[in-house]
A and B are shown apart, each in its own frame.
Chain A
Amino acid sequence: MSSSLNPSSITGAKRWLIAGVLLAVVVSMFSTQFNRYYLGILVDIGINIILAVSLNLINGHTGQFSLGHAGFMAVGGYTAAKISLVISPMLPPALQPVIFLFALVAGGALAALAGLGVGVPSLRLRGDYLAIVTLGFGEIIRVVVQNMESVGAASGLKGIPKYTTLGWTFGLAALTIYFVSALVNSTYGRGFIAVSDDEVAASSMGINPVRYKVTAFVTGAFFAGIAGGLYAHHKQFLSPTGFDFLKSIDIVVMVILGGMGRTAGVVVAAIILTLLPEVLRQFSEYRMIIYSLLIIVLMMARPQGLFTWTRKKGGAPA
C-alpha cells in the first residue's frame, strides 16, 4: 500500500501508521452503507481510543495520576466547535476538510496550553495530591464553560456541523497510537518510564523529571483536545455536563483495565468499555450495575491489566 510513497524512508512503525490511516480512509468511503447506530458506536470507539492512549502517556508511562482528561477534552471540543461554527458559513463547502483540520488542531493546541498550565504548577505534587489538583482543574473548566454565553452556557452548544467521519476518527486514532508509542519506544522515551519507576534515581541519572512530566501532560492534553473536537463534530451538540469528572474516570478505567503503560491493552480496553454499555442496553435500568460489576470482576481477575505483555525488549521497533 505504501509503495507509491517512497518506500525507503517509510519503514516499520511508520508503515503501520500509513496502513492504519489508509485503511480508515478506505473504510470511511463505504461508511454510508453502515447502519447509522453502529457507525456512531464505531466513531465513539475511535474517540475513546484517542482519549485512553493519550491519557496512558500521562498515567501509564509517566506514572502521574491525572483526573483532568475530560477537562482537556472539553477545551478542545468547545474550541473546535466554535471555530467551525464561525468559519464554516463564510467559506465554500469544498474547504470543509481544511476547516475541520484547522479546528481540530486549534482545539488540540489550546488543550495543550491548558495541559501546560496544569502541568507546571502541579509538578511538585505526587499521586493522590496531583489527582485532586487535576480533578479540580477539570471541574473549573466545566463550570467556566457552563457560564460562558458565547458557547451556549448550560443549555449547550448546538448545530455543530457533522464533519467527523470514520476516516478522520480512526486516522487520528492511528496517529495518536503512533505518536505515543514512537515517543516512548526510544532512548529518549525510556526517560518517561524511568520517571515513573523512580523519580529520584531518574534525576540522578541526568533525566529531568519536570521536562518529561510537562511533555507528557502537554502531549496527552493535545490529543485529548483533538478527541474533544472529533466528539463535538460527531454528536453535533456539546453540553458541559458531558465533561464532568465521571468522564475522566471512564478514561482512567480504560487505562487501568488495559494495563498502565501498555498501549495495545489500553486500545482493547477502550473498545471493550465502549461496547459494553451498548451491549448491555437491553437490560435497561440494570445496565450500569452490570457494567460496574464487570469492571470489578475484571479488576479482581487481572489487577495488572488485561494485557501485560512485556514491553518491546532492547531496541526500538525497527
Chain B
Amino acid sequence: MSQPLLKLDSATIRFGGLTAVSNFSLEVNPSELIGLIGPNGAGKTTAFNMITGVYQPTEGHIHLNGRSIAGVKPHDLTRQGIARTFQNIRLFGSLSVIDNVRAAMQLHCKHGVRASLWRGSRFKSLEKEVETRALELLDIFKLGSLRDEDAKSLPYGDQRRLEIVRALATRPKLLLLDEPAAGMNPTEKEELMHLIRFIKDKFQIAVMLVEHDMTVVMGICERIAVLEYGIKIAEGAPQQIQRDPKVIAAYLGTETDKEEPGDA
C-alpha cells in the first residue's frame, strides 16, 4: 500500500498526572473515511487536538505525508493539509457567511498586505476569483443564497455545514470532523451522512470523524478506531467493531446484552 497520509506512532499525551491519550497508533490513508469513537472523556477530541497541533504529544510521533509534525503550529498544519471543524461550532460570528469562507481562503491567496493597500487591477481580479470560488463552494452545500447573512444567525444545521465549507476552503487533504452530528435530528443526520460521503468522493480527501452517534459512524465509516480511557481498544471495519466484546463492554458495561451498541 502507498504511504499513509497520517500516521500516529504510539502518541501519548499527559496533562500532569492524567494520561489523556496513551500509546495511540493509527494510520489514515488518502481518501479514506475513518471514524474515531469512544465513550465520553475517552480522549477523542484530545487526539484531534494532537493531530491538529493544538497539543503536542508528550511521547510518540505523528507524521503527515511522512513528515513529522512535532512543533508545527496549527496554522502551518492547515497549510500542509489538515483542516477541522469543532465540537462546539466556532464560526467567525461577526463575519458574513461568505466572509467566513474567504477568511479561510487567505491561506492560499497570493495577494497580501501590499496588494490590499494598493488595490490595483491584479488585486481586484484575484479578489473576484476568491469570491467566485467561495461562492462555488457555498453553492455545492446549498448555502449560496445565504452568502450575506451573519454566520451566527444561521440555523444550527446550516452553521455545521458552513463550518465544513470553511474547512474545505483551506483545501485540505485530511478533514477532521469533531462530532458533526451533535444536536441533529434523524433527518439531518441522514443528510449529513450523504454530505460526508459526497465530500470524500468529490474532493478526494480523507475524512476522519469523531462521533457519538452510532448510526452515522456505522453507516459511513470504512474503518473505525475505538478509544476508551485514552487507550485504543479496537480497530477495524464497522461490522467487526459492532461485535467486538471489548467495545460492547466499553459502551454498555460488562453485562453484555444481545443489543447492538446503538444510541450510545
Contacts and interface: CB of A to CB of B under 8 A. Distances in A.
Closest 10 CB pairs of A and B: A206-B107, A206-B78, A186-B116, A201-B90, A190-B103, A197-B92, A205-B104, A194-B103, A203-B74, A313-B148
- A188, A200, A316 interface centre (most CB from chain B within 10 Å): A188
Contacts of A215: 113
Contacts of B169: 205
B226 to A, nearest CB: 25
Given A205-B170, A314-B147, 7 more contacts: A9-B120, A189-B116, A193-B95, A204-B84, A314-B131, A315-B131, A316-B127
Nearest to B84: A204
A197 B127 contact: no
Interface of A: 9, 11-14, 179, 182-183, 185-191, 193-194, 196-198, 200-209, 215, 261, 310-311, 313-316, 318
Given A12-B119, A201-B86, A204-B52, A188 B111 contact: yes
Contacts of B78: 203-206
Given A188-B116, A313-B148, A206 B104 contact: yes
Chain B interface residue number, banded: 35 or more
B105 A182 contact: no
B254 interface: no
Contacts of B248: none
B113 A183 contact: yes
Contact of B79 (A187, A206, A209, A314): A206
Interface in B95-114: 95-96, 98-99, 102-107, 109, 111-113
B243 interface: no
A186 B103 CA distance: 9
Interface string B122-148: 011011101100000000000000011
Given A203-B74, A315-B128, A188 B120 contact: no
A123 to B, nearest CB: 13
A185 B116 CA distance: 8
B133 to A, nearest CB: 10
Contacts of B91: 197-198, 201
B119 A13 contact: yes
B73 interface: yes
Nearest to B114: A188
B119 A182 contact: yes
Contacts of A191: 103, 106
Contact of A188 (B84, B93, B113): B113
B135 to A, nearest CB: 9
B105 A187 contact: yes
Nearest to B94: A197
A181 to B, nearest CB: 10
20 contacts: A9-B120, A182-B119, A186-B111, A186-B127, A187-B103, A187-B126, A187-B130, A190-B103, A197-B91, A202-B75, A202-B103, A203-B78, A204-B74, A205-B103, A205-B167, A205-B169, A207-B103, A215-B113, A311-B99, A314-B99
B103 A314 contact: no
Nearest to A200: B90
B1 interface: no
Contact of B106 (A200, A201, A207, A318): A207
Nearest to B96: A313
Contacts of A208: 73, 75-76
B18 interface: no
Contacts of A187: 102-103, 105-106, 109, 111, 126-127, 130
Contacts of B102: 187, 190
A174 to B, nearest CB: 14
Nearest to A317: B119
Contacts of B7: none
B70 interface: no
Contacts of B128: 315
A311 B169 CA distance: 22
A310 B95 CA distance: 9
A204 B113 contact: no
B62 interface: no
Nearest to B74: A203
A202 B74 CA distance: 9
Contacts of A14: 119
B36 interface: no
Contacts of A206: 75, 78-79, 104, 106-107, 170
B20 interface: no
